[in-house]
Structure formats: C-alpha cells, structure tokens
C-alpha cells in the first residue's frame, strides 16, 4: 500500500489484476504486485487503453494452472516482484513435491489461556521447561539466555504430572522434537526459525512442535531443520506467510523428503545434517553434544572436544551455516544468477549486515558450484 490509499493501513498490500472482456474464454490474466506510492501504473494503463495500444496491460502474465501448481492447498496467487522472481519460483517448484503431512506433521503447543493455572514462573526439580517463541532462534534452543530475549519474555515451567495429563499419546515429550516459531514476518531477516527441542521439554502455542505417533529418526529431524533454516526454503515460505507460519503455509512449499536410509546414502544430505548437528550442539552442548557422537557422523572424541571448545561466534560455525545454504541452493538446482535474485528478497539482512555480506554469500556460492561442478 505504502500510503497509496491513505485511509487504509500501510501494512495491507494491493495488486492489480488486468482482464479483457473477450468473447473467447481464457484462463490467462496479468497481475502487478508490490505497487508503490510513486508508481504510475494506473495512469499508464489508462493512457494505453485510450490510445488503443495492442498490449496496454502491465505486469506478470499468469494463468489458473500456474496458480494451482504454485499454491496447491490455498490456490491463492503468490506475490511476485518481477518476471525473474516468477521464473525462479517456478524453477524451484519443479524440483520437488510440496511438503507432506505424512512426511512430518506439526501441531501447536499448550494453549496459554486454557492451561494458565498450570504454568509456573519459577523452576523446581519436578518441573518441565516450556519454550516460547522468543526462547529459540535458528539452531538455538538456548536463545532465552540471550540478553534481548531475556528482556522480551518471561520464562515458564509446568509440573511434569500436569503436562502428562493434558498431552495426547502422539504428542508426549520424551524425545527431541523439531520446533519452529509460529509468529513471523515475510520481510524480516528470517521467516522460518526452527531448532531441536531437547528431551523432556515442551512448548506453548507460540511454537509448532512435530507430532510423533511413531518414532522419527534423529537424522530425519536434523535434515528437516537443515532445509527449514536455509535461505532457500525461507524464500519459498515467504510467498505464503503474512504474520504466522501456519501449517497451511508450510505444506505449500516444495522440499526434498528423504527417509533415514536415503539421507545416510546421500553425501550432500549427510553433509547437511552433520553441519546442523554442529550448529545445534554449539548453542546447547548440555543437551545436544550427544548429536556429535551419532554413529554415521564419525567425529572422533578429540574432534568433538575441539569443536565444543570453540567460541559460539567462531568463523567455523558461520562457514558451516553458509555451506548448508549453498548445499540446499544446489539441491534446488539454483545457478549463481538465481541465488542473486533469491538474496535480493532479504532486504533486512542486507540492511543489517551490509552489501559486502551479501556479495560474500554470492561469491561463496559461486565457488561452491565451481568446486562441486554442479553447473
């Protein structure tokens, strides 16, 4: 909106759909998104119509079949900045099927209002910590120790017996679970914020947590977090998110969905989950250092000790996170030019970390492609 319509809140977005009153039925139309206050598109269309120009309409050409392909659940029209972004999203959707509930299912944590009487603001040996959205960050289950996070939300616990009474059988808490923030923005640094929730912890409704009717492989969980926390998946997810990462948003995004045996047999998948285990363990070694001793990772005890003694801000971890982003980009068959288009969507990252940071990512991906001869 950007104050084009002064009486409407600026957070609302508008698009122009352009159709002709033809006698012949058509499923095609043009659309213009992200109209800014300084755009002259309405004047241009009106002028060109008056001048009987052959193609007066502006924007991206769409059709009904494309809409259904790119939004299989909601059948809603995705917002595209330009034709390059439109082509990139089509390319990414052609690589994988959309995420399935059969592959991984999520539900929200405990309702704050319904179970208010059970919550405690102090700890006790019989209590279980309840994660809130602000308590986690990407690969970080100890974000509540961050100064900013401490100031923005209080910590909550619940009596173990009380929790067991309100949980369903497929939603109990003994295993590590994937959790992700429900509240998000599609214009922030990141929209998807996910990590592992430690054993014998739970969460409130501001987080989604994976259901486990049957036990899910830890390798599979690490793989899902690897994809979720990538800039590539985030770019896709932003097409569907406004202020909440609902399940209906998640299950419209295409992503690889291998099971444990496929993950362990694929060198790229194995590299992803090894990196993710490092990133999770360095933030919460007390609960997750055991990840580094998983059989198929083959880290020596000396290597594990060396890694865990590194500062959490060490360049080693930044390199591993970047490598994950590059691997996921290559899985979606992105060329360097595609990666440039994708990163342009993360304006908040550029504003915070600067142009040089974005250029370093582009150069890093270019080198990754050259070294791995993907293209």
Q: Using one digit for the tens of pLDDT, what is the confidence trace for 204-263?
A: 999 999 988 888 999 999 999 999 999 999 999 999 988 899 998 999 999 999 999 999
CA separation, residue 292 to residues 117, 140, 187, 305 (Å): 39, 16, 34, 10
DSSP string, 71-125: -TTT-PPPP-SSHHHHHHHHHHHTTSPBP-TTT--EEE-B-TTTTGGGEESS--T
- As a whole number, mean pLDDT of residues 36-56 equals 61
Q: Is the pLDDT of residue 357 over 70?
A: yes
d(CA 226, CA 276): 6
**Phi/psi at 227 (5° precision):** -70, -50
Question: What pLDDT sits at residue 275?
Answer: 98
Q: Is the pLDDT of residue 335 over 60?
A: yes
| C-beta pairs of 13-21 under 8 Å, 24+ apart in sequence | 13/79, 15/77, 15/79, 16/41, 16/42, 16/45, 16/58, 16/59, 18/45, 18/57, 18/58, 18/59, 20/57
**Phi/psi at 119 (5° precision):** -80, 145
Pair 332, 236: CB distance under 8 Å: no
Question: What pLDDT sits at residue 373?
Answer: 75
Q: Is 299 left (phi over 0), alpha (psi -120 to 50) or beta?
A: beta
The residues, any chain, with a CB within 8 Å of residue 267's CB and separated by 6 or more, are none
3-state secondary structure of 15: coil
**Which is higher by pLDDT, 248 or 361?**
361
- As a whole number, mean pLDDT of residues 298-314 equals 93
- As a whole number, mean pLDDT of residues 318-346 equals 97
What is the chain's mean pLDDT, rounded? Answer: 87
Q: State what percent of residues in the chain have pLDDT above 90.
A: 58
Over the Cα atoms of the chain, what is R_g? Answer: 23
Given the DSSP bridges, would you call strands 106-108 and 207-210 parallel, antiparallel or unpaired? antiparallel
Half-sphere exposure of 259 (CA within 13 A, CB side): 5
Question: What pLDDT sits at residue 53?
Answer: 62
Half-sphere exposure of 59 (CA within 13 A, CB side): 25
d(CA 65, CA 87): 15
- pLDDT category at 69 given cuts 50, 70, 90 is confident
- As a whole number, mean pLDDT of residues 294-318 equals 93
3-state secondary structure of 153: coil
pTM above 0.85, yes or no: yes
- pLDDT category at 27 given cuts 50, 70, 90 is confident
Per-residue buried b or exposed e for 292-311, using 16+ beta carbons within 10 Å of the residue's own CB: beeeebebeeeebeebeeee
- pLDDT category at 324 given cuts 50, 70, 90 is very high
Show me where the domains of the chain are located.
16-93, 106-333
**Which is higher by pLDDT, 17 or 305?**
305
Q: Is the pLDDT of residue 1 over 60?
A: no
Q: Is the pLDDT of residue 291 over 70?
A: yes
For residue 236, give the DSSP letter.
H
Residue 247 burial by CB count (10 A; 0-12/13-18/19+): exposed, middle or buried? middle
- pLDDT category at 334 given cuts 50, 70, 90 is very high
Token pair in block for residue 57: 């309409």
**Phi/psi at 172 (5° precision):** -75, 175
d(CA 303, CA 316): 13
CB atoms within 10 A of CB 82: 14
**Tens digits of per-residue pLDDT, 129-169?**
999 999 999 999 999 887 766 556 789 999 988 888 888 76
3-state secondary structure of 374: coil
Question: What pLDDT sits at residue 114?
Answer: 87
106-333 CATH fold: Adenine-n6-DNA-methyltransferase TaqI; Chain A, domain 2 (3.90.220)
């Amino acid at each position: 909106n950007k104050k084009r319509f002064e009486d409407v809140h600026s957070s609302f977005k508008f698009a122009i759909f352009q159709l002709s009153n033809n006698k012949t039925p058509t499923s095609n139309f043009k659309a213009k998104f992200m109209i800014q206050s300084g755009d002259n598109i309405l004047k241009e269309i009106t002028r060109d119509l008056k001048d009987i120009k052959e193609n007066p309409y502006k924007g991206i050409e769409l059709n009904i079949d494309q809409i259904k392909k790119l939004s299989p659940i909601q059948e809603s029209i995705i917002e595209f900045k330009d034709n390059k972004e439109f082509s990139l999203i089509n390319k990414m959707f052609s690589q994988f099927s959309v995420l399935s509930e059969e592959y991984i299912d999520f539900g929200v944590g405990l309702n704050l209002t319904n179970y208010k009487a059970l919550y405690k603001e102090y700890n006790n040996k019989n209590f279980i910590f309840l994660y809130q959205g602000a308590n986690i960050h990407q690969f970080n289950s100890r974000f509540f120790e961050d100064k900013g996070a401490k100031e923005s939300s209080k910590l909550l616990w619940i009596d173990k017996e009380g929790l067991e009474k309100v949980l369903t059988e497929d939603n109990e808490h003994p295993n590590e679970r994937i959790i992700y923030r429900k509240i998000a923005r599609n214009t922030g640094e990141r929209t998807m914020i996910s990590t592992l929730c430690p054993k014998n912890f739970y969460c409130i409704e501001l987080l989604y947590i994976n259901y486990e009717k049957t036990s899910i492989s830890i390798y599979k969980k690490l793989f899902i977090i690897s994809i979720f926390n990538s800039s590539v998946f985030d770019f896709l997810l932003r097409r569907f998110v406004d202020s909440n990462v609902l399940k209906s948003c998640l299950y419209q995004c295409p992503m690889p969905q291998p099971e444990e045996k496929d993950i362990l047999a694929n060198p790229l998948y194995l590299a992803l989950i090894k990196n993710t285990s490092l990133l999770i363990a360095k933030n919460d070694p007390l609960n997750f250092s055991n990840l580094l001793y998983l059989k198929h990772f083959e880290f020596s005890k000396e290597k594990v000790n060396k890694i865990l003694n590194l500062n959490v801000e060490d360049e080693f971890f930044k390199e591993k996170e970047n490598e994950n982003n590059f691997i996921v980009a290559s899985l979606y068959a992105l060329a360097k030019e595609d990666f440039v288009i994708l990163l342009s969507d993360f304006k908040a990252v550029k504003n915070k970390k600067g142009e040089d940071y974005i250029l370093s990512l582009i150069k890093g991906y270019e080198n990754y492609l050259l070294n791995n001869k993907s293209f």
